[in-house]
Amino acid sequence: MKTLEGQSILVTGGSGSFGNAFVRKVLALSPKRVIVYSRGEQLQETMSQTISDHRVRYFIGDVRDRERLEIAMHGVDVVVHAAAMKIVHIAEYNPYECIQTNITGAENICRAAIASGVTRVVGLSTDKAVNPLNLYGATKLAAEKIFVAANNMAAGRCDFSVCRYGNVLGSRGSVVPFFRSIIADGKGVFPITDPRMTRFWMTLDQAVELVISSLGMMHGREIFIPKLPSVRIVDLAKAMEPSYALDIVGIRPGEKLHEVLLTEDEARLSMEAYDRYIVNGGPSNVVDQFRYSSDNNKILTVDEIRKYL
C-alpha cells in the first residue's frame, strides 16, 4: 500500500464539499503539504478560516489554465482532480463551458502532471458517465478515457486512475440540501421528478476514504467503483419530512430513472474486491452479464436513510 506520509498533495476543486472533507482527512496522514487549487476565492477564504494548518496552501487557479496548473504542481507528488462543472441542467444550457472545464480541464491536468513530475493522479468521476444521457455524463466519460489513456503518455513516470461513484449525501447541489431548504421554508410539498427514481448513495466520508484507499492501491488505468446502497427518492423525502406531500413534476432533460455504475461490457474487464469493483484491475472474477445499477441493488429503507441523515 502506497502512503501519503511526507507527500505533497494537490486537490483541484479543493474548496468544494469534497475538497474540504479530503483536506481534513488527509492532514491526519502526515503529508508534507496540501495545496487547495480552485477558482473560488470566497470559498477559499472561508475554508482558510476553518482549516488553518500551516501545511495547507491556497492557490487560486482554473483547470482550464494549463500553465497555472504546472506552476501549482511544482514539487507535487499526488494530485486529486475533483474540479468539475456538474449541475446537469446548467451543463445542458452551457455546453461549451462544461466541455472546457470537464474535458479540456482533464487533459490539462494530465499534461501538467506529467510535465511537473507528479507520480500519482486520481480523477473523480460519476455514475452519469456510464451510458451517458446528459452532457455532464458525456464529458465525464471523456475525462475517464483521457485519464486512462494518459498512462500511455506518461510511460511509467506517472500513474493515472479514476474513482467513479454515485450521489454524495449533503454535497453542494445535491437533493438533500434542496429538500432541507424546502423544509426550512415550510412549503409543505416536495417536488419529485418520478416516484420510481432510484440513486446510488454514499456519504462524504465514504467518498474521501474511497479516494485515499485508491491512491494507496493504484498502479494506473484502474477505475475504482465502490459498493454502495441505493435509495428511492420518494423514500428520501419521507425520511426527511413524512408529513410533506409529493408533487410529481416529471423527469427533466438529461435525467435517468436509474443510474448505472458498471455495465455488462465493463464487468468483463473488472475484478470484484470486498468493498469495490475495479475496472482494468486484473483478471475478471465478476459473473457474466453482471450489471451494477441503482434499481438492481440493496435499497435502503426509510429508517436506514434516517440513520444516514
Residues known to be catalytic: 128
Beta partners for residue 35, in sequence order: 10, 57
Beta partners for residue 279, in sequence order: 223, 270
The three cell numbers of residue 136 are 455532464
- Start-to-end CA span in the chain (Å): 32
CB within 8 A of 218, min separation 6: which ones? 2, 120, 122, 159, 161, 224
Any idea which residue has 506517472 for its cell? 158
Give per-residue burial for 44-54: e unless 16+ CB within 10 Å, then b.
beebeeebeee
CB within 8 A of 249, min separation 6: which ones? 191, 192, 193
Beta partners for residue 161, in sequence order: 122
Distance from C-alpha of 58 to C-alpha of 30, rounded to nearest angstrom: 18
